[in-house]
């Protein structure tokens, strides 16, 4: 039985696709190209526009603007671009998320089980994985990638084209202008690598041996004074290979903006 509830003051375009058991609060607006999957909950005074798809069981709190046009001067407004949001995401008050741009691949993508706290911003062409957290007023510029389980501290700003590796965490009020390696704890203005994200690795139930190898790798890569090439060679020569270590090495080798030092 369909238990969809749309408040009488909400404005829903007739061509929007609304799934079963969707709740839309007072004074919210849903545009013509929007798709809301089952059990989506939208609070009051929200705007969902653009070619936007929101997956099952997402919660959107009052004042959020989802699927707005990119804040990019090159954007013409007539481009076929989109925003894709997965399932079980919690999008808190006054969050803003923009669609993609043609030059950036055409879409912004957010995975599953993410928490975007109040006033955070996701710009055009960003890719966010699963189980990520953006604390209050965290800001992603265009083309930023967050790998799974990444955490962005409150009031932090991430430069365009930067990558945040899996299970990394950025302290509050940080300025992030280069890639953040997986499994790291970073902080500062600009952000620097301080240590392995031990709390995050423990929560992820990573085995102790893998954590110890990562700690040794971090000492060589970020605290030995060696060049990136020489540090990688030493890590590959001296440390036993694990999936986590291989992921870390691949991330460092493939950086385009450089790695936080």
Q: Are residues 34 and 134 in the same domain?
A: yes
To which H or E segment does residue 246 belong? Answer: helix 243-253
Residue 181 domain-assigned (yes or no): no
Q: Are residues 33 and 135 in the same domain?
A: yes
Residue by residue, pLDDT tens for the chain (261 residues) are 578 999 999 999 999 999 999 999 999 999 999 999 999 999 999 999 999 999 999 999 999 999 999 999 989 877 799 999 999 999 999 999 999 999 899 999 999 999 999 999 999 999 999 999 999 999 999 999 999 999 999 999 999 999 999 999 999 999 999 999 999 999 999 999 999 999 999 999 999 999 999 999 999 999 999 999 999 999 999 999 999 999 999 999 999 999 998
Q: Are residues 213 and 137 in the same domain?
A: no
Q: Is 125 noted as a catalytic residue in this protein? A: yes
Work out how many domains the chain is built from and give that number: 2
Instruction: Give the chain's end-to-end CA distance (angstroms, integer).
Output: 56
Cβ neighbours of residue 174 closer than 8 Å, sequence gap 6 or more: 153, 156, 157, 186, 187, 188, 189, 190, 191
Q: What is the pTM of this model?
A: 0.96
Question: Which one of 100, 129, 142, 165 is the catalytic residue?
Answer: 142
Q: Is 7 noted as a catalytic residue in this protein? A: no
Q: Are residues 18 and 141 in the same domain?
A: yes
User: In which residue are the tokens 């061509």 written?
Assistant: 15
CATH number at residue 100: 2.160.10.10
Q: Are residues 132 and 13 in the same domain?
A: yes
Residue 178 domain-assigned (yes or no): no
Q: Are residues 31 and 136 in the same domain?
A: yes
Question: Which one of 31, 63, 125, 179 is the catalytic residue?
Answer: 125
Q: Are residues 95 and 24 in the same domain?
A: yes
CA 32 to chain centre: 26
Residue 158 domain-assigned (yes or no): no
Q: Is 142 noted as a catalytic residue in this protein? A: yes
Token readout for 133 is 């957290």
Q: Are residues 97 and 209 in the same domain?
A: no
Domain that holds residue 207: 202-253
- Between CA 24 and CA 16 the distance in angstroms is 13
């Amino acid at each position: 039985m369909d238990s969809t509830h749309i408040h009488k003051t909400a404005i829903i375009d007739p061509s929007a696709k609304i799934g079963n058991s969707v709740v839309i609060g007072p004074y919210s607006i849903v545009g013509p190209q929007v798709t809301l999957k089952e059990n989506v909950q939208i609070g009051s005074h929200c705007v969902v526009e653009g070619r936007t798809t929101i997956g099952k069981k997402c919660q959107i709190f009052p004042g959020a603007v989802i699927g707005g046009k990119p804040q990019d001067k090159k954007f013409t407004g007539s481009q076929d671009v989109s925003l894709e949001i997965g399932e079980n995401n919690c999008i808190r008050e006054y969050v803003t998320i923009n669609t993609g741009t043609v030059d950036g691949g055409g879409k912004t993508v957010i995975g599953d089980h993410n928490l975007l706290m109040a006033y955070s911003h996701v710009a055009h062409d960003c890719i966010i994985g699963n189980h990520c957290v953006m604390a209050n007023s965290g800001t992603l510029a265009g083309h930023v990638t967050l790998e799974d389980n990444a955490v962005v501290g409150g009031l932090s700003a991430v430069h365009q084209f930067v990558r945040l590796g899996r299970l990394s965490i950025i302290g509050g009020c940080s300025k992030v202008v280069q890639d953040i390696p997986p499994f790291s704890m970073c902080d500062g203005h600009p952000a620097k690598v301080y240590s392995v994200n031990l709390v995050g690795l423990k929560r992820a139930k990573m085995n102790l041996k893998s954590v110890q190898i990562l700690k040794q790798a971090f000492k060589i890569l970020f605290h030995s004074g060696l060049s990136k090439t020489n540090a990688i060679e030493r890590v590959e020569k001296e440390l036993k290979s694990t999936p986590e270590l291989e992921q870390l090495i691949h991330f460092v080798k493939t950086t385009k903006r450089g790695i936080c030092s």
